[in-house]
Structure 1
Amino acid sequence: MATPEPTSAPRPRASISVIVPSYNCGTRIGEALDSILEQTVGVEQIIVVDDGSTDDTATVVGRYKNARIQYIQRPHEGMASACNAGLDAARSEFVTFLYAGDRWSPAFAERMHDYLTADPGIACAFSNFVHLDDSTGKMLGDQFSHYPEIKRPVLLRDAPNAHGRIPQERAFGALVSCSDIPAYLQVMMFRRSAIENLRFEPSLGPGADTSFALQAFMRGMIVFTDEVLALVRNPTREDALSEGALPVHTLNGLKALAPHVTRERDVTPYRERLSKAHIDAALSLMKAGQARAALRTYRGAFQFPGLRMRKFRGFLRLLVGLPRGLLK
């Protein structure tokens, strides 16, 4: 468990609020809190939002005798609502999230803070990370291997600080196009003024992360680093959904963005990614044995022009998984 912070050499303090939403994670929340307290810069505010836990979360958090830790206990309403409560309580210039059981490397907060303070036009900074398979305890590959699109040099320029890169095109268009949309809040830090009126939509479930992150990408420049600065448990969702179900929630998060995508240069990449999301969700549903729902979802891809080859390949993959007799 946590030990008192050293008093002989106090660390510099940064204007950062860390939101730690948690539900029945008393056995894991210490990992998150320890990694926050071990940062090379001291954060100003640590907001633990207990989403109606029935375990020993309150007892575990209470062992941390640190004035910066603010404990908010509320009825169980889901992670989106818990994150919103944290945003309402945040008072620092920069805001970030860390889920119970996930861990930052000691340099995470300092690196993200440096990026954001270097240029007031940067709304969000995020880093690479590795997955931990919770069932086996094995480390999986780094997340940026799923983002081949953002590694194209023609789309990038160097950030003001070492190791960082910024998309040369509008951030939303560059990042919504990624095969796996960067929407892992555990490795993101936001300028609070850029997301002041932005909140999570509880009705979207796990898709709320995608919707929140993509709306933030519309509000300024984004900087990211290939450095692995966090460890994220897999799966990371509150209800322990299998990864196979996530494409459906990603689709829901993308669909909820429709009223916000108004700039002409954002529309094309958004529609292309939405078309792909329909196909990915359809394949996920087919794999789960929901053939009719899969076919209905696949038809949604044809609301948007283009990508004919992708749609054709998706149809062939659906046919392979189609139960015999369904079309008789």
Structure 2
Amino acid sequence: MSTGPLISVIMPALNAASHIGDAIRSVLDQTWQNWELLVVDNGSQDDTARIVSEFNDPRIRSFLEHRRGVAHARNKGLDNMRGSFFAFLDSDDLLPPRSLEARASILLARPELQFADGAMERWNAEMTSLITTVTPGYSGPPFERLIRIDPSCFIGNTWMVRRSPGTEVRFPIGMSHSEDLAFYLLLGREGYYGSTNEVVLRYRTGHGSAMSDLEGQLNGYVRLLLLVRNEIPGVTQGQFKALRQRVQGIMLRSYLKEMRPLAAIKALLRLWR
């Protein structure tokens, strides 16, 4: 589809040479062709910039930045986008061919919606084996579900957002884990959410060590709790307690899965403060 609103796809990249070509090609292969891709290179030391430059398509714009984190990179894309709708794609993930069209069609058919979502496939690191498919199933105001990290409304960085005067939100600088949830919580105080059963993202798993991922996840949740308590007005004590209990449960299960009970206890204490 070459008509319809312009969709901005924002892609942060850091040392992504091994996968970014496939990610960009998945945007090029979209059935919805009225898009722009903003690639924000976050200080890569490999061939990321060269690979991006080899795509000779005026719809692809690249930005070279010093290494200031994924939140800053996404904000750079938000500051420079031109589309009526916007979505995100990490440089190691893939969009199925109908990803943009499936979500944009929801926003066009239902003008009361601010956010459109869809199913996500989780694949192994080589993208050769499908692990699971997660499908949201909610329609309505998203905030109450977001703050409970409810998978009927939040499964990852899969939302498409309709630009409006209420969507000038930016990612909290310095967060490298849970920054997408923080962004949606800041964004989702107003507006309505809808979803499709179509798969809109193929997510690649298996990066990094389990230990470093857990520590990063814990730090992200600590930052998230501080943000919700201090920077989002109107959050009730019950809502904050529900979020804290949810992230405590996630981290407890994660550390115990790695046979690290002492680290699990320390994580619970950090999240309780």
Pairwise TM-score range, normalised by the shorter structure = 0.7 to 0.9
TM score, norm. by length of structure 2: 0.85
Deviations 1:294-314 (A, max 9, x none): 3523645xxxxxxxxxxxxxx
2:267 counterpart residue number: 294
246-255 or 208-217, which deviates more:
246-255
Of 37, 43, 56, the residue aligned with 1:65 is 56
Q: Percent of counterpart pairs with the same letter?
A: 24
Check the 8 A contact 2:127/2:204 in 1, yes or no: no
For residue 259 of structure 1, what is the aligned residue in structure 2?
A: 230
Alignment partners' CA distance in 1, 2:156 and 2:180: 7
What is the SS of the residue equivalent to 1:206?
A: coil
- TM-score (norm: length of structure 1): 0.72
Secondary structure at 1:174's aligned position in 2? helix
User: Is 1:129 aligned to 2:123, yes or no?
Assistant: no
Alignment match, 2:170: 199
Alpha-carbon contact 1:93-1:192 (below 8 Å) kept: yes
Q: 1:80-95 to 2 correspondence within 5 Å?
A: 80-95=71-86
The code of the aligned residue for 1:200 comes to: F
CA distance in 1, matches of 2:13, 2:102: 25
**What do residues 49-92 of structure 1 show as CA deviations (whole Å, max 9, x unaligned)?**
01111111111111111111111011111111110111111111
Q: Report if aligned partners of 1:207, 1:251 keep a CA contact under 8 Å in 2.
A: no
**Structure 1 residues 241-252: aligned runs within 5 Å:** 241-242=212-213, 246=217, 249-252=220-223
Name structure 1 gaps, 5 residues minimum. Answer: 1-9, 145-149, 152-164, 301-328
SS of residue matched to 2:83:
coil
SS of residue in 1 equivalent to 2:5: strand
Larger Rg: 1
Unaligned stretches of 5+ residues in structure 2: none
How is 1:96-175 mapped onto 2 (pairs within 5 angstroms)? 96-134=87-125, 137-144=128-135, 151=137, 166-167=139-140, 170-175=141-146
> After superposition, what is the alpha-carbon deviation per residue over 1:224-243, rounded to whole angstroms, capped at 9, x for unaligned?
12222321101578x99536
- 1:251 positional shift: 4.7
Using CA pairs under 8 Å that are at least 6 residues apart, name the structure with larger relative contact order, 1 or 2: 2
Indicate conservation of the 8 Å contact 2:36/2:83, yes or no.
Answer: yes
Question: CA offset at residue 30 of structure 1?
Answer: 1.1
Cα separation, partners in 2 of 1:43 and 1:98, compared to 1, 3 Å? farther
Structure 1 pair 299–81 and aligned structure 2 pair: CA distance change class (3 A): closer
In 1, distance between residues paired with 2:246 and 2:178? 16
> Is 1:188 matched with 2:179?
no
Cα RMSD, aligned residues only? 2.9
Residues 190 and 136 (structure 1), Cα distance of their counterparts in 2 relative to 1, 3 Å cut:
closer
